[in-house]
Amino acid sequence: MIPLVKSVYESIKKYCILNLMEYQVTIGMEIHAELRTKTKMFCSSKNDPDEKHPNVNVCPVCLGHPGTLPVANEEAVRLTQRVGLALGGEIQKFSRFDRKNYFYPDLPKGYQISQYKYPLILGGNLNGIRITRVHLEEDAGKLMHDPSGKFSMVDFNRAGVPLMELVTEPDIKSAKEAKKFAEELQLTLQYLGASEANMEKGEMRCEANISVAKAVKPPLGGLTAKLGTKVEVKNLNSFRAVKRAIDYEVKRQVELLESGKKVAQETRGWNENQEITFSQRSKESAHDYRYFPEPDLPPMEFSDEYIETLRATIPELPAQKRKRFTEEYGISADLVETLVRERSLAAFWEKVISELRDWIGEENPKKFLEAMKVAVNYFTSDFLGLIKEKEIPSAAELLMTPENFAELIKMIYKNEITSRVAKDVLRIMVEQGGDPSTIVESKGLKQIGDETELSLMIKKIIDANPKAVADFKAGEQQSLQFLVGQIMKETKGAANPEAIKEILAKILG
Ligand SMILES: [Zn+2]
């Protein structure tokens, strides 16, 4: 082995063994998501994450002018509570806002209105990871640093936007699991209409608390470890960053411990370009913020009746949909995941299947399964490919309807068109819309099932290609394929190649 490759190999091997066998990784997540409300958290300024001009959606309240008073946004409270209910958490009947005091140029009031002692939600669970709490607060403004380094600018459009914060228990054991958790939460927030949770736009932001400790093998097997020193990594603004930063941080901490050093309790940032974490500041503790009850907002109380009414508004969630689609349609895990992640596509799929069910009726389950198999086939291999190729952002923007697609499946199932033609028709449907029977009719693509008609066409081709016929008769099998190709061309793919071969063989002997 080349020395360099060998040393890299050895260090990877060493790290893998150390990490897996001797160290226990413990991760807790804190995830912020901007809520999708019309107005901001404590004023009537617009909450518009797409606003391009700075300092447009502002008013004296969110600019922190003295003497102004906040009014809580009911919709933001409701959305947070729905998230709590969806995660199986407990809506607190008593909740209140607190002031979190700190100075930063993007925080004009000098404090953030948040929740400390009485959050809206306690408990819950997602993907087997326990949720500690979910609370509501306001976002800060955005700082932009001039490349000259001489000045910075602040945009207060985001100041006061409703921000939900979710904190998990330290139940996560790997970077991969952390990423999966964040992805599932994003999907859940989108299903609930609580947040777009677009990480690229900063609508969802992750932090991870990571600690690593040497595990000891107890006599009865398994591994136990005391929790190591907690390091918080902030600014994880993509799923990729969540995975990479945790992997990096685990490795860094293991290496520190291996060389006999201590891990410092601190907050670290993530450098996206260099893919490293870096020290930002030593970790502050809660008392540094001098939390106290927000005197300008009354505490909130919620009745059982209110909570139950809210519970009834929770839609089918990703995990439920995943389970139902697997059981109901027996489709591959990959297709289930594609549909669960793309709700408009799932709705399209369900409409197609319901059309097929209506057509076949309840009494013939075998026939229904066969037709569904055809549907799965064309949906996965052709339809999804076309959507990708044409860069269609959502099934809602398709020119063809689910009824059109179901109609096409029926035509294939009934052998009215060949699979070659079906592919062409599907492309036309995606590109231009329209129902398949009209397309087939207008382009003369109906399968030529009539043997007399097909025989006539075949005879024509035979007459026009005497050389290929002679070659075939001399034993060249390839010439038969050539003749079949010519006939397919003549019929624009509307003839079944097997039928052509059969008739050809009959005529040519
Ligand atoms: Zn405002």
Tokens of 290: 């001098």
Q: Distance, CA 65 to ligand 1 centroid (Å)? A: 10
What tokens does 464 get? 């026009």
Identify any residues that bridge with 353 across adjacent strands, giving them in sequence order: none
200 Cα: distance to centroid of ligand 1 (angstroms):
24
Q: How far is the CA of 142 from the centre of ligand 1 (A)?
A: 15
Task: Work out whether the CA dihedral 381, 386, 391, 396 comes out positive or negative.
Answer: negative
160: CA distance to ligand 1 center in Å? Answer: 7
63 CA to centre of ligand 1 in angstroms: 7
Distance (Å) from CA 205 to ligand 1 centroid: 23
Tens of pLDDT along 471-504?
Answer: 888 888 788 888 888 888 877 777 777 777 777 7
From ligand 1's centre to the CA of 187, what distance in Å? Answer: 29
pLDDT at 127 > cutoff 80: yes
Q: Per residue in 156-197, pLDDT tens?
A: 999 999 999 999 999 999 999 999 999 999 999 999 999 999
Distance 33 CA to ligand 1 centre (A): 19
Alpha carbon of 153 to ligand 1 centroid (Å): 19
70 alpha carbon to ligand 1 midpoint, in Å?
A: 9
Q: What is the mean pLDDT of residues 349-361?
A: 91
- Centre of ligand 1 from the C-alpha of residue 150, in Å: 29
- Decide: 24 and 225 in contact? Cβ < 8 Å: yes
Give the C-alpha separation, 420 to 408, whole Å: 13
Task: Report CA(497)–ligand 1 centroid distance (Å).
Answer: 69
Alpha helix stretches (DSSP H) within 42-145? 74-86
DSSP three-state, residue 450: coil
Pick the closest to residue 209 from 138, 290, 132, 143 (CA basis): 132
CA of 285 to the centre of ligand 1 (A): 30
* Proportion of the chain above pLDDT 90, given as a percent: 66
Let me know: does 435 contact 404? Beta carbons within 8 Å.
yes
DSSP secondary structure code for residue 45 in this structure: S
Average pLDDT over residues 340-366: 90
Q: Compute CA 224 distance to the chain's CA centroid, rounded to the nearest angstrom.
A: 34
Tell me how far the alpha carbon of residue 130 lies from the centroid of ligand 1, in angstroms: 35
Predicted structure pTM score: 0.83
Supply the mean pLDDT for the chain.
Answer: 89
Please tell me the distance between residue 69's alpha carbon and the centre of ligand 1 in angstroms: 11
User: Which pLDDT belongs to residue 9?
Assistant: 59
Could you give the 3-state DSSP secondary structure of residue 149?
Answer: coil
Query: Strands, DSSP E only, in 156-240?
Result: 162-168, 204-214, 231-236
**112 has a pLDDT exceeding 70:** yes
Cα–ligand 1 centroid distance for 51 (angstroms):
14
Question: How far is residue 26's CA from residue 212's CA, in Å, rounded to a whole number?
Answer: 6
400, two tokens: 């063809």
Q: How far apart are CA 112 and CA 253, in angstroms?
A: 33
For residue 56, how far is its CA from the centre of ligand 1 (angstroms)? 10
* Rounded distance from Cα 67 to ligand 1 centre (Å): 14
CA 61 / ligand 1 centre spacing (Å): 5
How far is the centre of ligand 1, averaged over its atoms, from the C-alpha of 290 (Å)? 25
Q: Tell the residue number behind the tokens 């912020």, with chain if given.
A: 32
Which tokens belong to 444?
């003369």
* Cα–Cα distance measured from residue 262 to residue 353, given in angstroms and rounded to the nearest whole number: 59
Ligand 1 centroid to Cα of residue 315, in Å, is 31
Stretch 333-360: mean pLDDT: 93
Centre of ligand 1 from the C-alpha of residue 149, in Å: 30
**Residue 6 — pLDDT band, cuts 50, 70, 90?**
low
Give the per-residue pLDDT at 19: 46
pLDDT value of position 222: 60
